[in-house]
Amino acid sequence: MKNHWMTSFRGKVFVKMEGRLIEQAINQLLRSNISIWNVKRAGTETITFYLALEDVHNFRRAIRTSQCKVTFLRGQGIPFLLKRSIKNSGFVIGAIVFFFIVFMLSNMVWGVQIKGASPQTEHAIKKELKQLGVAKGKLQFSLPNVQDIQRELSYRMDNITWVGVELKGTTIHFQVVEKNAPEPAETTGKQHIIANKEAIIVEMFVEEGDPQVKVNDYVKKGQLLVSGLIGTEKKPKGVPAKAKIMGETWYKTSVELPLETQFSVFSGNEKRKHYVGIGSFKVLVWGFGEDEFKDSVEEENKKPIRFLKWELPFYYVDHSIKEKEDVERKYTRTEAVKAAKSLAKNNLKSSLQEESEIVNEKILQQKVENGKVKLTIHFKVIENIAIGQPIIQGD
């Protein structure tokens, strides 16, 4: 006896047979090893039954001489379902496209909400998020996870104490705590200009106020450069002094650089595997084959899959395998000195204002000790040394 469940899967036909010699026709089918089932009488000379789709050709040949009338009423099973689907392919394709579009829209970012930040900080955060690839219209699968976004924002933004990141549906929520800057002293808006460090003045551009020094003067930190009080001694008038005072300043810094260094770098070779999973079970859908890296670092980014407002039990995993290799860097003494000078110069530049310029450098001390080059360097810098000092009420 054939497995009727598998026959239903492969396809079956519902048949009506009419005639006086039905019993003889059934016996002929049995002799031909053609299986029929669910045989029912629908009248004195009529029966109905099911027949496997793969036996239809043999069935026709077996009953050709039976003088019975046969009517195929309907077909059932996968083959007939596919045939009807093809016949109604426009509807099927439309339904598939509709669900695909809804699925994609359900897994995109449609909102970025930032709370607890001033307008300036909010603008800066949005600018940083854009560089990280976090923006409206982006697929959630392509975004860094919320821990990485939180860490990057905390690292890049100097004016925030803490930022919380949470993905709810299609909206990313940011809760920001800004650093509390000290409240400025109450002033009249009028100010002096003083020196923020000791220097020799090389240029002066005074827009408003009474200059108290001149070019080539040596000034100390906190010394008055431009007074905000003008007029006579008896009737002084306060003004918001404005000036740009360029001074020659000096910095001494020490730096160490090993002659031999071993470190790991990424070679640029990477293999990505994409999985779809449920619970602890996941299936690889793209990125087949084994990686051939001797040493590698693996990263996994797991994203939930949503449909409309519901979070499905399925998830998507982007698994990255990056090749890593060990590199040994060796310097000669001359090369190490040059690299150490460049390192010290770059470190100093990062702490100076944009308009500042390093005009001279001199190595004060140089030695090789314990496999390291140690330098003490003196830098001469031209920078703006002017800062405002409010004229407090009652001064």
152: tokens are 């990057």
- In sequence order, the β-bridge partners of residue 37 are 50
- Token pair 């998507």: residue: 316
Domain carrying residue 392: 188-259+331-395
Confidence bin at 226 (pLDDT 50/70/90): very high
Cα distances from 298 to residues 149, 268, 319, 323, 380, in angstroms, run 19, 14, 7, 9, 47
Domain boundary among 304, 327, 350: 327
Check residue 251 and give its pLDDT: 95
Specify the higher pLDDT residue, 106 or 385. 385
What is the Cα–Cα distance from 49 to 297, expressed in whole angstroms? 64
- Token pair 């300043």: residue: 249
Indicate whether 104 belongs to any domain. no
Domain boundary among 301, 327, 353: 327
Amino acid identity of residue 194, one-letter, is: I
65: tokens are 């001489």
Mode of pairing for the β-strands spanning 171-178 and 111-115:
parallel
What is the Cα–Cα distance from 389 to 319, expressed in whole angstroms? 56
Cβ atoms within 10 Å of 330's Cβ, excluding its own: 11
Residues 356 and 217 in one domain: yes
- In sequence order, the β-bridge partners of residue 328 are 262
Q: What angle do CA 212, 238, 182 make, to 5 degrees?
A: 90
Element (H, E) at 342: helix 333-351
Indicate whether 102 belongs to any domain. no
pLDDT tens digits, 356-365 = 999 999 999 9
1: tokens are 């006896």
Give me the CATH number covering residue 35: 3.30.70.260
Residues 247 and 341 in one domain: yes
User: Mean pLDDT, to the nearest integer, of 250-270?
Assistant: 88
Residues 372 and 244 in one domain: yes
Alpha carbon of residue 379 to chain centroid: 41
Cα distances from 80 to residues 135, 341, 373, in angstroms, run 47, 80, 82
pLDDT tens digits, 83-100 = 777 777 777 788 888 888
Mode of pairing for the β-strands spanning 171-178 and 199-208:
unpaired
Residues 308 and 362 in one domain: no
Residues 173 and 141 in one domain: yes
Alpha carbon of residue 207 to chain centroid: 48
Residues 239 and 387 in one domain: yes
Cβ atoms within 10 Å of 355's Cβ, excluding its own: 10
Domain boundary among 82, 98, 126: 82
Task: Give the number of domains in the chain.
Answer: 4
Closest CA to 200 of 211, 213, 216, 214: 216
Indicate whether 206 belongs to any domain. yes
- Are residues 148 and 154 in contact, defined by beta-carbon separation less than 8 angstroms? no
Residues 250 and 286 in one domain: no
Indicate whether 193 belongs to any domain. yes
Residues 255 and 210 in one domain: yes
Check residue 5 and give its pLDDT: 63
Residues 313 and 345 in one domain: no
Specify the higher pLDDT residue, 110 or 202. 202
Amino acid identity of residue 391, one-letter, is: I
Residues 33 and 149 in one domain: no
Percent above pLDDT 70 for the chain = 95
The pLDDT mean for the chain works out to 85
Residues 246 and 368 in one domain: yes
Indicate whether 148 belongs to any domain. yes
Indicate whether 223 belongs to any domain. yes
Check residue 1 and give its pLDDT: 44
**Most confident by average pLDDT, 72-86, 100-114, 191-205:** 191-205
Specify the higher pLDDT residue, 291 or 296. 296
- In sequence order, the β-bridge partners of residue 327 are 263
Residues 197 and 304 in one domain: no
Indicate whether 205 belongs to any domain. yes
Check residue 4 and give its pLDDT: 58
Check residue 133 and give its pLDDT: 84
Sign of the Cα torsion 338, 355, 186, 161 reads negative
Alpha carbon of residue 85 to chain centroid: 40
Indicate whether 183 belongs to any domain. no
pLDDT tens digits, 316-344 = 888 888 888 888 888 888 899 999 999 99
